[in-house]
């Protein structure tokens, strides 16, 4: 075993068994960042009524999981050797034996792993191996396929799908002024949430980063408070929860962090990606992804604040949507006129790729989903965020990746959603 691997794994063990104190500084780099990514579940749920492509039968879910013991026999002092049994099981369910062997070999020989392999740790809410670089995947298909694409449907079109050339997931886009946008996204480059200023062509420059959180969304409350909502691991309970905090105008610092009180186990995979929206009556509603038993298709649920402060919430009854829709993003919330984008579960890839879908509502609780994808079928698109340009046009940012299982890049893209 090389000195490089020994040093890496010792530091990795130390990081896993210690708990970092809270820190809202933008300068400190934390390896405890979660990058929310697609995951696979091991069993196939019963088909339900609503499906994105009714003519397509859902394929069998991935039933084989990675053989951790086989990997440990070949790499007994590798990164996996320092994980608990539950953590090993989580990674096994979303990876393959060969990919994990490749990861351990790359750690030993190069000190670098693929983004997809780093995502195994993020998806299981584990810090990645510290000091490890990210190497490029063998194929550059992600950049080639995302660029210069448009797609039309019977009710809308998405135009000029273009790669931003930046690896990232869970973006959040907000308007600064008539010439400037601010883009937040989980980035391996900053090992946290990158905070960028962009023009309206999405030429961006990173201003700083936020650590120890993922899936950030920011609103301005009726009281004029700039309030963010995000996922974080609670070190006292070892559970994940949605937190809220007051954010600075530049988005680079926050204070008065408070959990919403909807915790789940840290190994809960198909959960999270909260989207907060100021609703017409001045209250705040937060939507997020949820599963009842960790094996069935995801559902979308929500909670609404008790007051305009947006701190204390009560669950809204029922589900907003069922049957595997995820990454919910409200792009318009006006009295009697709501619009939202979302993606579809990765469970059935590559036969059914993740795609973006569109829904409308009169109250933000009961949604009418249009079961026709608005992105090309040959690629996966997820984590949409967007702002209105006018009544018909919405500037969209999201994440995209090749429609394949295993190692792949996740690139940010931009597009224009054009409604009738």
pLDDT tens digits, residue range 75-128? 887 888 888 888 888 888 888 888 888 888 888 767 788 888 888 888 888 877
Cβ atoms 170, 188 nearer than 8 A: no
- pLDDT-derived band at 9, boundaries 50, 70, 90: very low
404, pLDDT greater than 70: yes
The residues, any chain, with a CB within 8 Å of residue 87's CB and separated by 6 or more, are 124, 126, 267
Q: What does the alpha-carbon distance between residue 63 and residue 304 come to, in Å, rounded to a whole number?
A: 37
68 with 191, same domain: the answer is no
Q: Is residue 53 part of a domain?
A: no
Cβ neighbour number for residue 86 with a 10 Å cutoff: 11
Residue pair 127/91 in contact by the 8 Å Cβ criterion: no
Q: What domain count does the chain have?
A: 2
129 and 248 co-located in one domain: no
Q: Do residues 130 and 206 share a domain?
A: no
**Distance (Å, rounded) from C-alpha 105 to C-alpha 257?**
40
Report the predicted TM-score, pTM, of the whole model to 2 decimal places. 0.69
Strand 133-135 with 112-114, pairing:
parallel
Same domain flag for 193 and 71: no
Q: Does the pLDDT value for residue 270 go beyond 80? A: no
Do 332 and 399 reside in the same domain of the chain? yes
Residue 221 φ/ψ, nearest 5 degrees: -70, 170
CA distance 388 to 390: 5
One domain, residues 91 and 8? yes
Query: Is the residue at 216 inside a domain?
Result: yes
Q: Are residues 292 and 273 in the same domain?
A: yes
Write down which residue in 135, 161, 179 finishes a domain: 135
Per-residue pLDDT tens digits for 15-50? 343 433 334 333 333 333 333 333 333 444 444 444
Residues 376 and 395 in one domain: yes
Domain of 107, in residue numbers = 3-30+64-135
Q: How many CB atoms lie within 10 A of CB 164?
A: 23
pLDDT in tens, 350-397: 889 999 999 999 999 999 999 999 999 889 999 999 999 999 999 999
């Amino acid at each position: 075993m090389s000195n490089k691997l020994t040093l890496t794994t010792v530091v990795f063990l130390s990081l896993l068994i210690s708990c970092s104190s809270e820190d809202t500084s933008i300068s400190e780099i934390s390896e405890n960042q979660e990058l929310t990514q697609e995951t696979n579940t091991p069993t196939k749920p019963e088909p339900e009524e609503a499906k994105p492509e009714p003519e397509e039968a859902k394929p069998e879910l991935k039933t084989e999981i990675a053989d951790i013991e086989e990997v440990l026999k070949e790499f007994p002092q590798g990164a996996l050797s320092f994980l608990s049994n539950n953590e090993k099981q989580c990674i096994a369910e979303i990876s393959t034996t060969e990919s994990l062997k490749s990861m351990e070999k790359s750690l030993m020989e190069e000190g670098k792993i693929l983004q997809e392999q780093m995502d195994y740790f993020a998806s299981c809410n584990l810090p990645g191996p510290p000091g490890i670089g990210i190497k490029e995947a063998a194929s550059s298909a992600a950049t080639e396929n995302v660029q210069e694409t448009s797609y039309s449907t019977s009710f809308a079109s998405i135009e000029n799908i273009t790669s931003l050339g930046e690896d990232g997931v869970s973006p959040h886009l907000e308007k600064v002024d008539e010439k400037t946008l601010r883009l937040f996204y989980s980035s391996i480059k900053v090992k946290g949430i990158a905070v960028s200023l962009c023009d309206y062509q999405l030429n961006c420059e990173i201003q700083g980063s936020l650590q120890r959180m993922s899936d950030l969304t920011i609103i301005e409350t009726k009281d004029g408070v700039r309030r963010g909502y995000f996922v974080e691991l609670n070190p006292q309970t070892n559970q994940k929860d949605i937190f809220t905090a007051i954010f600075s105008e530049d988005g680079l610092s926050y204070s008065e962090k408070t959990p919403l009180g909807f915790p789940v186990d840290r190994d809960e995979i198909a959960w999270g990606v909260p989207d907060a929206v100021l609703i017409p009556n001045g209250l705040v509603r937060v939507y997020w992804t949820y599963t009842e038993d960790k094996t069935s298709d995801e559902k979308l649920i929500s909670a609404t604040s008790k007051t305009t402060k947006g701190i204390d919430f009560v669950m809204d009854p029922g589900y907003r949507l069922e049957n595997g829709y995820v990454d919910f993003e409200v792009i318009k919330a006006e009295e009697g006129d709501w619009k939202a984008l979302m993606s579809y579960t990765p469970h059935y890839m590559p036969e059914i790729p993740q795609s973006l879908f569109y829904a409308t509502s009169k109250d933000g609780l009961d949604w009418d989903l249009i079961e026709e994808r608005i992105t090309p079928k040959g690629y996966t698109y997820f984590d949409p965020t967007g702002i209105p340009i006018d009544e018909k046009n919405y500037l969209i940012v999201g994440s995209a990746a090749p429609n394949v299982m295993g190692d792949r890049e996740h690139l940010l893209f931009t597009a224009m959603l054009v409604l009738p």
